[in-house]
Structures are given as structure tokens and as C-alpha cells.
Amino acid sequence: MFYGISLTAILVALWLTLSGPFTLSGDYPIVMGLGLLSIIGTVALTYRMRIVDRETVPIGPALALFTYWGWLGGEIVKANLAVLRLVMKPEIEVEPRLIRVSAEQRSDLGRSVFANSITLTPGTVTVDVEDDGFLVHALDNSFTDPAGFAEMGARADVASDGRKTGMATGEAN
């Protein structure tokens, strides 16, 4: 029930934000009615599909997710600078690598956040999703530190779940 109410509140806030300025013109009741119908229809469909749960409506870990986005933004800036230093050398000496990174997140959402975070970080791309982890292409050997992937994996797990867990580990191929 909590997730249904949360989903409804999020949809109402999103709809009101995106619907533009509020004026009491002749079409106001129609616009409000259509917005109300679309929200009710969306919530009803999600209940019918039985997907209203902690993973679909991540209200609990919202603060952890915002904190993670801030941390990830910093990591993206650092990775951008590292890639810039690598490619701006007079002689480009990159050593591309394919590595396996284990994914020990507790949910599919956590695995998805982790895989997408790897891909968002310059110099690394998640190439394949496997049962126990990911195949990651790294632009250079300097981007294959298992501790960095472990930290990102653990933070992604906390961000997607809101509760602390053990660290994920990465291993070089």
C-alpha cells in the first residue's frame, strides 16, 4: 500500500511539474481530468502487473540514491581528467583490457545501477552482463583497479536498496 501511495504522489508531482503554468482557462477542467485519469490508469496498470514494490518505487533509498549520484558525478569528473591525460600525451600509449567484474548486488536494480555506472564513467564500458558479474572494456590498464569497481558496486547496492551491505569485488582477467 505504501508503494502505491508513493507512486501516486510521485506521478502527481511529476504531472503537475510538467503540465505547465496553472491558469483557470476554459480547458483547465479537461487538462486536470486527463491528468487525473492518466495517473489513475498508470497506478491501476502497475497494480494489475504486480510490479508495485520496493524496486519499482524506490522511495526508501531516495536519499542514498541522491548521495550516490553526487559521488558518481565526482567519479565521472575524475575519470574524464584521467582519459584526457591519457589521450593528450604526445605518444598515445593505451593498453585496452577486457576484465570481469563480479556483481554482488542484492537486486536487479542494483545490478543495473552498477552496470550503468560503469558505462557512464569515461574509460570503461559494460560489454556483457553475465550471471555472476559483467564483462567490462577498459580503455587502459589504469582503469582496471578491482578496489574501484568494488567500491562502486557496494555504493550502487546501497543506493538501489538504501541499506548497507558487504563490498562487491572485481577481478582482472
Q: What would the pLDDT profile of 65-96 be if each residue is shown by its tens digit? A: 888 999 999 999 999 999 999 988 888 888 89
Average pLDDT for 130-149: 91
Rounded to the nearest integer, the mean pLDDT of the chain is 84
How sure is the predictor about 23, in pLDDT bands with cuts at 50, 70 and 90? Answer: low
Check whether 171 has a pLDDT greater than 50. Answer: no
Check whether 169 has a pLDDT greater than 60. Answer: no
How sure is the predictor about 50, in pLDDT bands with cuts at 50, 70 and 90? Answer: confident
Quote the pLDDT of residue 53. Answer: 75
Q: Where are the domains of the chain?
A: 2-48, 62-171
Quote the pLDDT of residue 90. Answer: 86
Query: Model pTM?
Result: 0.66
Quote the pLDDT of residue 15. Answer: 85
Quote the pLDDT of residue 21. Answer: 65
Quote the pLDDT of residue 167. Answer: 43
Average pLDDT for 5-34: 80
* Cβ atoms of residues 87 and 128 within 8 Å: no
